[in-house]
Amino acid sequence: MLKFKRLFGIAIIVITTYFITNQVNGQSVGEGKIVFTTRKPFRNLNGFRITTETRRGKNRKSLLNWWQFYAYNICSINPDGTDLKQLTDNGTSRKPRWSPNGNWIAYISGLDLKESLAVMKPDGTIHKELLKRQYRIIDFWWSPDSQKILVAVEIDRPVDPTENIVVTLEGDKKGRRRMPRWTEGWYHWNPNSEVINPKRKLIEALPKEVSWPEWSPDGHWISFVTDNLLMIAEVETTSATGRWFQQRSEPICQNIEEWSPSGDRILFYTNGEICVASINQGKFMEVVNLSMMPGWDATWDPEGKRVAFISRDQKQRRVNQIFVMDAFTGQVDQITFTNYDHFDPHWK
């Protein structure tokens, strides 16, 4: 009996230690947080109409002035659906993106044609505007050291409207890049947090319609879509030789989402469904339709084991919810159950 009590006591200590060491702030270590955008209809006549006119089959009101109908704000949530928090309250915040070190969240704020790039702390405090009143912010990318952001903006002019700007957390601007075509996703960060100019031979070797490539985490590879196929190219070799060849084993692809953190898998879409391609030394090893259901805004978890994405509510509500999917088995769980829409998840 005494021996049993000792063993029981040891078991309790081991179990308690496991839960203590594997829980931080109420969530499992490695689970991370998902930030995302919510779109809530206003609780007035405009908000009511925008949610009912579709059901009646009538034409929806113009969404050119979307701020008259909806409030867009940024929230965070645990991957299991707990600890939902709203981080902004201005009604015009969207497209959040974690810094690599997890200390900041960058996001776009403001109305159309007057967009700003801002950052805030993960708890929704210390909001800072880094870039103000832009005609349109197309996209942005954190530097590996989490101190700067490369921003692609559209300028209100008829010729070569795209520019790239680097801004720091202090709001300093580090020069504009205006080279036509190069500003369409070709400028990128290297591991030392320096903006790298693309090699002309790299761009010239690829099909002319290629723009906005997705760079692998180490910058050694790019993925892009041409002829409705998912293509990849080795940056150094193609830049040196000016030659690139199609493999003839590329999968059908409408759009690329992102590389996995380890740089060996790519999230992409075929027929509106979420797919994964496994890459080894530039070769396609496996291609899987992971979701087998419509999905969009997919993002990897920090370990590359799960994917968060947006899809229609499985309870038949006419809203978009957040789902979490195992990146190997495809098992899917819906983690939000609201009467409003969700967009732009990013997991850190």
| Separation between Cα atoms, residue 94 and residue 79, nearest integer Å | 19
DSSP 26-67: TEETTT--EEEEEEEE-SSHHHHHHHHTTTTTPPPPP-TTGG
- What are 312's strand-pairing partners? 320
Segment 337-342 shows an average pLDDT of 98
Q: For residue 297, what are the CA distances in angstroms to 3, 321, 336?
A: 55, 11, 15
Segment 255-281 shows an average pLDDT of 97
pLDDT tier, 224 (very low <50, low <70, confident <90, very high otherwise): very high
Buried residues in 315-340 as b, exposed as e (16+ CB within 10 A): eeeebbbbbbbebeebebeebbeeeb
pLDDT tier, 14 (very low <50, low <70, confident <90, very high otherwise): very low
Among residues of the chain, what percentage have pLDDT more than 70? 88
| Tens digits of residue pLDDT in 32-91 | 999 999 999 999 999 999 999 755 444 554 556 899 999 999 999 999 999 999 999 999
Determine the pLDDT at residue 12. Answer: 39
- Measured between its terminal Cα atoms, the distance across the chain in Å is 48
DSSP 231-248: EEEEHHHHHHH------S
pLDDT tier, 198 (very low <50, low <70, confident <90, very high otherwise): confident
The answer to which of 22-36, 175-189, 210-224, 261-275 has the lowest mean pLDDT is 22-36
Q: Please give the mean pLDDT across all residues of the chain.
A: 90
The answer to which of 14-23, 109-118, 299-308 has the lowest mean pLDDT is 14-23
Only one residue has tokens 């202090």, namely 170
| Separation between Cα atoms, residue 220 and residue 115, nearest integer Å | 32
Give every CB contact of residue 310 below 8 A, 6+ residues apart in sequence: 295, 296, 297, 320, 321, 322, 323, 342, 343, 345
Is the Cβ–Cβ distance between 4 and 60 less than 8 Å? no
CATH number among 2.30.30.30, 3.30.450.20, 2.120.10.30, 1.10.260.40, domain 198-342: 2.120.10.30
**CB atoms near residue 92 (< 10 Å):** 19
Amino acid at 323: F
The answer to which of 54-68, 71-85, 113-127, 154-168 has the lowest mean pLDDT is 54-68
pTM of the model: 0.88
